[in-house]
Every structure is written in C-alpha cells, then in structure tokens.
Chain A
C-alpha cells in the first residue's frame, strides 16, 4: 500500500528537518481576529495534529499555510525562507499540498482526470499541447492499485468511490506530485470507523515516507493514534502545545472537551 508514498516521496527529506515554521502567526478579517499568536512547527517524518472545536481557527490556519489567505501578523517560514503565500499554486510549488475534507476531488470527473488535475501530462508545446491521456490513465490506474484501491473503470466519475477512497486518492495524488508537506483538513470527519482506519494508516504511511504532515481534526482519539505533536486551538489562540511524550490521550480529550470549563459545567449540572 505504501509503495506510492515511499516511491514518490522526496528523497531529500531528512527526518526531523524543519519544513514549515509558524511563529506568532495571526490573521484578521477586517476587525475580526480569527487567529493570533500561533506557533506551529512541521518537521519531516512527523505528524503535527491541530485540534480544536468549530470556530477555533483551524481552517484559518490551514488557509494561511496552503496559500488561500495570507497571514496578517507573525512569520511563516518555509525551508528556512520567510514567505507570504498568495495562492495555492505558490504553496504547491513549495511542496505544500492540502487535502480538504469535502473539496478533495471533483466528483463528476473521471478518476484519472482527478488524479492529474492541475498537474496534467502534456505532450508538445502550447497551444496545441494535447494531454498524454493513455499515460495518464495507465499511471493513475497503477498508482491506485498499489494503494489497494481497485476501481472497476478508471473512467468512472470519482464521485462513485467511497469517501475514504476519495481521501486516499487525494493524498496519494499530492504525494505523487512531490508534496513535502501534507495538510489534511478533517480527513476522517465524515467517515465511518473502518474508512477512518484506512485514512489513518495512510497518514502513518506518509509520515514514514518522510513527509511532514499537518493533521487537522476534532477527534483526539484519531489524533493520538498517529500524532507526534499536538496543538489545541481555542478562539483563535493556542491553549496546548505538547509533544507526544508529554501529554496523554486523557489530557487531549479533556482539553478538547473544554477542560476547566467542562469541570465547571459538570459542577453546575451535578445531579442530586
């Protein structure tokens, strides 16, 4: 299953190498402060989990790293160079690929077209550059088979695959096209237990292949299964920033569930 990942992962990646570094990053949408003072380190061969409730600032954080919205304060450093990412293309060119929960693929398009979307193989020069369709179909089929995803027809709309398979295709695609940093936005949120397991194994495989993974989730169990480092966001700020050895699943769950607020609530709601 991990063939695709290990085969196509960047060989220059050294485990523990700092890939993306955020220091005191913040983002204001007009007068609204969506994110402030967040530190995040993405290292090769490690999974950094970003946890938080709805509205905690997780998606703002992703948008900054993936180039959808530039940050308004703090510094974002990619491979030691300070950057302000203006478009997803810019982020992709730096090896930062993002897989969104519901935006991973274009459902009506055939599997192979989705696999190569944005990185099509082209023969010859513009304006008469046709796509190398035969190669593209063959490669897409081979890569999916290596992952254990058997599609009856590489031409079928990707919308006919299961949610877990679609996420896996999107992850595999990102790695195949040279991603060094993989940002996964709630990849398991809409999936059942079995499908989540498939995606989590895939995340572990990407980590073992040396990629830096940012795993965004609101499920502490899923995070603890694969994570090396945990960051919990609340109302746009960091409330916990800990390495794997220094935090237990219970801590994560409690913090996620509201921590002190929850204790307070439990006192208030205490039944007679």
Chain B
C-alpha cells in the first residue's frame, strides 16, 4: 500500500522548506549582519573592539531575560511582568539586607525564592484559570510595579534603594553578577559570558533535551501534547519560573553594578524581550523559534541602541526602528508558519 508517495517533482520542495523552517533565526541573522555593516559604514566610533564589547554588554542585559521569554513564547505564553521583575528582585535583596542588616547572600537567596514564587504564581494562575497569560501577567506586572515603588518609599523614604556597598557579601556577589575584565582595549562584562552560557543551555535544551520537545509541543498544540502524555502544566509553569529566574539574575547584575536601584525602572523592558524573541524568529502564537534567534534579536537591539548614539543621531529614533523591525519580523514569521501548516494536497 502506498500513501500519497511523494513524486520526484514534489520531493524537492518539502526538503528546501524543511531546511528553511528548521532555522527560524536565518532572517534575524541576515538582518543583524546588514545592520552591523550599516553602522560600520555610518558610525566611525562603532569600528573598535571596545565598542563591539559595549554592544555585547548592552545586548546581554536584554538578552539574558529575552532567552527565557523566547522559550516561554515557544511554549505559547507571554510574560509581561518580566520587565519589572529584575527591579523587584534587586529591591527585595537590597532592602531586606539594608533593613535587617544581614549578609547580602541571604537577601540574594530570598530574592531568588521570591522571583521563583512569582513565576510559579504566574504559571499556576494561567494554567488553573485558563485566562490568557497576557492578562494574568499584565496583572502581576502592575502589582510588582506598584509594590516596587510603594515598598521602597515605605522603607527608604525615597524612590531609590539605599547604597548597599558596605554590607557584608557585596564584593563576592559583585564578582559573580557584575564584574568585568579587560581584553586588549575592550572591557568585557561578565554578563556577556553568562548570556552566552544561558543561550547555549537554552539552545541545547530545545534541540536535544526531552523537555525541549515538550516546550515546542505545548506551544504548538497543548491539547495534542496532553493527549500523548506530555505534562503540559508542569512544562508551562517551569517556563514561567525560568523567565523569573533570569529576571532575578539581571536584577542581581543591576543591583551589584550600581549599588542602588530606581524603583520605577524596568517598565517597557518586557516589550524589548518580546521583540528580541520575535525578531529572532519566534512565533507570537507559540510552537516555533529557537534560543539562538532570541540571542540574535537581543544583539540587534544592543547594536542599534548604541549604533544610533555612535552615529550621533537623535536616540529617539531607536524606538521607531524597533517598531519597524518588529513588523517585518512578524510578517516573515507569519509567512513561514503558513508554509509549514499548509498540508500537501492528497
């Protein structure tokens, strides 16, 4: 018996299509190279290894969370609370230790537990109620944003946290989260290395781990996944917790780099993460994308935000550029999805 055996004529198309679809980041990579060359041409100060590493640093501060958001979006969910999560993480650590005078490591662990709890709550509420994650995390986002400012004002009397550089544990934590070293004439921030590690870990998980298979499945079709025994609820809650873990990580970086935090910061970053993931080829509707793509998306963000400054232009144009990139990426992604889901006529 034969079931619509592919004829030689039709055989070539699925192969090329499959190869293209297997690599969602191709479009983003082409865009990144084009933007890179463009700024090399128009911005003379862009052409040094020092500014290249500055771009990498800028990219890493967005890219670390963007990788988690990318995984979450592949899993079919959003997290709007990811923008203010780092600030919440830093504030919990900073104010707890400042108020009670305990070692900063204690606060850091407490802050991690807090972030994981928020991530769990996000995921649990989404799975329990069936309400879109867009709404649930919009709620958490406002709660965190308000609490960040409200609690900070109660504790310190102002909208910024107190300087914690004199408290025990600062030096060692700074080494982990916010140190830098020089490479030739360039300063390399440790977040760049962390970023690379997280991207590699996420890429490996998606491609080679069983959980990666589940992430694609719960985003592509949660009901199909459930029917073949994939633990959908656990997988999705795990993804929300991954995002909040990475948010905590970036929060630790900001805290130990600047000693104090502005409680009102972070608003709007959630969209940067989503844009980085989408520009990197992640489908807004889930089930498609990869970690390298989200990393390239974050790199495009870092390159552009600094490139515009190096070129001496009004930095306000950056947002407009970001919008254009997002629209282009969504168009490309939608087209790709249509190709992929179109069944062959039998």
| A213 to B204 Cα, complex, angstroms | 39
Q: How far is the CA of A130 from the CA of B209 in the complex (A)?
A: 5
- Give the shortest distance, in Å, between A120 (CB) and chain B (any CB): 4
Residues from 223 to 237 in B contacting A, C-beta threshold 8 Å: 223-231
A130 to B287, CA, bound (A): 20
- A89, A106, A110: which contacts B221 (Cβ < 8 A)? A106
B17 lies within 8 A of A131 (CB): no
Q: How far is the CA of A166 from the CA of B342 in the complex (A)?
A: 13
- Chain B residue nearest to A195 (CB atoms) is B346
CB distance from A217 to the nearest CB of B (A): 18
- Quick check: is A98 within 8 A (CB to CB) of the other chain? yes
| Interface of chain B, main secondary structure | helix
Chain B residues numbered 9-23 whose CB sits less than 8 Å from any CB in chain A: 10-12, 14-15, 17-19, 21-22
A162–B208 touching, CB < 8 Å: no
Chain A 130-148 near chain B by CB (<8 Å), digits 1 or 0: 1101000000000000011
- A122 located at the interface, meaning its Cβ lies under 8 Å from any Cβ of chain B in the complex: yes
Contact A152 B1 (CB under 8 A): no
A108 pairs with B341, CB closer than 8 A: yes
Asked whether, in the complex, the Cβ of B344 is within 8 Å of the Cβ of A160, the reply is: yes
Which residues from chain A contact B18 at a C-beta distance below 8 Å? 110, 152-153, 155-157, 160
A88 touches B226 (CB 8 A): yes
Q: Output the least CB separation between A208 and chain B (Å).
A: 14
Cα distance, A40 to B35, chains bound together (Å): 65
Residue from the list B4, B21, B225, B337 in contact with A106, Cβ < 8 A: B225
One digit per residue, 1 when the CB lies within 8 angstroms of any chain B CB and 0 when it does not, for chain A 156-168 equals: 1101111111101
Given contacts A117-B217, A157-B21, A160-B14, A165 and B4 within 8 Å (CB-CB): yes
| CB-nearest residue of chain B to A130 | B208
Please determine whether B217 and A162 come into contact, CB atoms closer than 8 angstroms: no
Interface residues of A, CB < 8 Å — how many?
52
B316 contacts partner chain A, Cβ-Cβ < 8 Å: no
The distance from the CB of A108 to the nearest CB of chain B, in whole angstroms, is 5
Chain A, Cβ-Cβ closest to B13 = A152
Within 8 Å of chain B (Cβ to Cβ): is A13?
Answer: no
Chain A residues lying within 8 Å of B340, measured Cβ to Cβ, are 107-108, 157, 159-160
Q: Is B220 an interface residue (CB 8 A)?
A: yes
Indicate whether A245 reaches chain B with its CB closer than 8 angstroms.
no
Bound complex: CA A9 to CA B229 (Å): 19
**Closest partner residue, chain A, to B287 (CB atom):** A108
Contacts of A104 in B (CB 8 A): 224
Q: Smallest CB–CB gap between B153 and chain A, Å? A: 41
Is the Cβ of B225 less than 8 Å from the Cβ of A148? Answer: no
Instruction: Report if A201 contacts B (CB, 8 A).
Output: yes
Task: Find out whether the CB atom of A162 lies under 8 angstroms from the CB atom of B343.
Answer: yes
**Nearest Cβ in chain B — how far from A166, in angstroms?**
8
Q: Which residues in A have their C-beta under 8 angstroms from that of B230?
A: 117-118
Q: Which residue of B lies closest to A177 (CB)?
A: B228
Q: How far is the CB of B316 from chain A (nearest CB, A)?
A: 38
Q: Is the CB of A240 closer than 8 A to any CB of chain B?
A: no
CB of B342 within 8 A of CB of A160, answer yes
Q: List 25 A-B contacts (CB under 8 A).
A: A88-B227, A89-B229, A92-B229, A100-B223, A105-B221, A106-B220, A106-B225, A108-B220, A109-B220, A117-B224, A118-B225, A118-B230, A120-B210, A130-B209, A131-B212, A148-B1, A148-B2, A148-B5, A150-B6, A152-B18, A153-B19, A159-B342, A160-B343, A162-B3, A164-B346
Q: Known pairs A130-B208, A150-B6, A162-B344. 16 more at Cβ < 8 A? A: A105-B221, A106-B216, A109-B213, A117-B228, A118-B225, A130-B209, A155-B18, A155-B22, A157-B21, A159-B341, A159-B342, A160-B344, A162-B4, A162-B343, A194-B346, A195-B346
Q: Could you tell me which A residues sit within 8 Å of B by CB distance? A: 1, 66, 68, 88-89, 92, 98, 100, 103-110, 113, 116-120, 122, 129-131, 133, 147-153, 155-157, 159-166, 168, 173, 192, 194-195, 198, 201
